[in-house]
């Protein structure tokens, strides 16, 4: 079965979605909408088989379309998603799913009531390196997770509609929630500073504490000399590093600190006088077959619609991510008027 799909928005990320939808054998891109005339011209050239229009409403009212992909500015997501659901369309919307966890909850309730799939595009969860990292945790190879440290840094692209937390944070928070099986955060705190634009933090340090003494710390910035996309997981047995910019995306370090019983005066091992053994073994670079994460994401969305698969990045996951962002910000998605 082939799904007939519409795409709303062909701006920053929209062209990648357009390309991936056209390449899929399980869906047919039949309608594209964008308010900007230049973007419509691009869409018409890139997908000559599809109808291109200015109005998102016209696309949503098209009875031929069964599912809609939304790649518009974040402030428009909630309204467009709710309109799509009201027209009986399955939806895939770029992150964030909406401006607040309350709005995401409303989306989830509406989708469930209508028997429709609502999914958010947290693309990194469809990255095979991230999935391998999760398998290392869940197989027990790393032992119990102690802490996670993530860095997402670059020089630019500077945003005016959201700060560095809301721009970069959803990616790494989404990954952490996925790695740890969606735990509820005990505490969330952030420190940030605005250097380029008043009221919009260019650099943010986010700290999350989870149950079982697990910590996560993120460094997020578009004001840094290096492009870094790295996450370190420290376990009781081993440590692993996921580096999205490296040739080998995953490195597993047989390193750690182990307790060592000391030999007592009576030639037995005194458990109360333990020392510590620093362990530094081999480093492994597992071979991971690369699949384009966006294609995996689109395939999963179609599997959820056509085959009834459970959605990995549905409203529940989206709400968990937004809840942490809100707790770190004391408000929903960044509004410059708050500055």
Mean pLDDT of the chain: 93
Is the pLDDT at 212 greater than 70? The verdict is yes
Domains and CATH numbers, the chain: 3-124+293-314+327-338 (3.40.50.720), 128-284 (3.30.360.10)
Phi-psi region of 108 (alpha: psi -120 to 50; beta: other; left: phi over 0): alpha
> What would the pLDDT profile of 109-166 be if each residue is shown by its tens digit?
999 999 999 999 999 999 999 999 999 999 999 999 999 999 999 999 999 888 999 9
The pLDDT of residue 51: 97
Give DSSP secondary structure letters for 288-315. -----HHHHHHHHHHHHHHH-PPPTTSH
In this predicted structure, what is the pLDDT of residue 81? 98
pLDDT for 265: 61
Tell me: pLDDT of 67 over 70: yes
Residue-level pLDDT at 336: 38
Provide the percentage of residues in the chain whose pLDDT is more than 90: 85
pLDDT by residue (tens digit) across 258-284? Answer: 877 666 666 565 555 567 888 888 999
Residues 239 and 256: beta-carbon distance below 8 Å: yes
The 10 Å Cβ neighbour count of residue 63 is 8
| Confidence check: pLDDT of 31 > 60 | yes
Residue pLDDT, tens place only, 231-241: 999 999 999 99
Nearest CA among 272, 270, 236 for reference residue 256: 236
- Report the largest interatomic distance among the alpha carbons of the chain, rounded to a whole angstrom: 87
Model confidence, pTM: 0.90
What is residue 2's predicted lDDT score, i.e. its pLDDT?
Answer: 87
- Helical packing angle, 77-86 and 101-114, nearest 10°: 10
- Contacts of residue 12, defined as CB under 8 A and 6 or more positions apart, other chains included, come to 71
Torsion angle in degrees (nearest 10) through CA of 202, 170, 131, 229: -10
Give per-residue pLDDT as tens, 289-308. Answer: 989 999 999 999 999 999 99
Identify the band that residue 52 occupies on the pLDDT scale cut at 50, 70 and 90: very high
% pLDDT > 70, the chain? 93
């Amino acid at each position: 079965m082939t799904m007939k799909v519409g795409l709303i928005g062909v701006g920053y990320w929209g062209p990648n979605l357009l390309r991936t939808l056209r390449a899929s054998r399980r869906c047919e891109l039949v309608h594209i909408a964008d308010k900007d005339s230049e973007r419509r011209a691009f869409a018409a050239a890139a997908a000559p088989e599809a109808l291109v229009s200015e109005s998102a409403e016209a696309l949503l009212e098209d009875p031929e379309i069964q599912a809609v992909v939304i790649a518009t500015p974040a402030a428009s997501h909630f309204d467009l998603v709710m309109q799509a659901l009201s027209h009986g369309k399955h939806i895939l919307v770029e992150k964030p799913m909406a401006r607040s966890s309350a709005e995401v909850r409303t989306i989830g309730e509406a989708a469930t009531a209508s028997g429709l799939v609502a999914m958010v595009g947290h693309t990194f969860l469809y990255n095979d390196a991230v999935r391998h990292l999760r398998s290392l945790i869940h197989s027990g190879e790393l032992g119990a997770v102690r802490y996670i440290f993530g860095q997402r840094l670059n020089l630019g692209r500077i945003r005016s509609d959201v700060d560095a937390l809301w721009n970069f944070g959803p990616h790494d928070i989404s990954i952490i929630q996925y790695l740890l099986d969606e735990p509820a955060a005990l505490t969330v705190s952030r420190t940030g500073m605005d250097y380029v634009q008043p009221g919009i933090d260019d650099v943010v340090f986010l700290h999350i504490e989870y149950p079982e003494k697990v910590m996560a710390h993120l460094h997020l910035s578009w004001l840094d000399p290096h492009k870094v996309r790295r996450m370190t997981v420290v376990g009781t047995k081993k440590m692993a590093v996921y580096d999205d910019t490296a040739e080998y995306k995953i490195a597993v370090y047989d390193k750690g600190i182990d307790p060592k019983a000391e030999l007592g005066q009576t030639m037995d091992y005194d458990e109360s006088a333990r020392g510590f053994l620093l362990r530094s073994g081999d480093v492994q670079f597992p071979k991971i077959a690369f699949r384009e994460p966006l294609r995996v994401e689109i395939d999963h969305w179609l599997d959820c619609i056509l085959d009834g698969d459970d959605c990995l990045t549905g409203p529940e996951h989206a709400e968990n991510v937004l809840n942490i962002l809100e707790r770190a910000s004391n408000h929903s998605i960044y509004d410059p008027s708050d500055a």
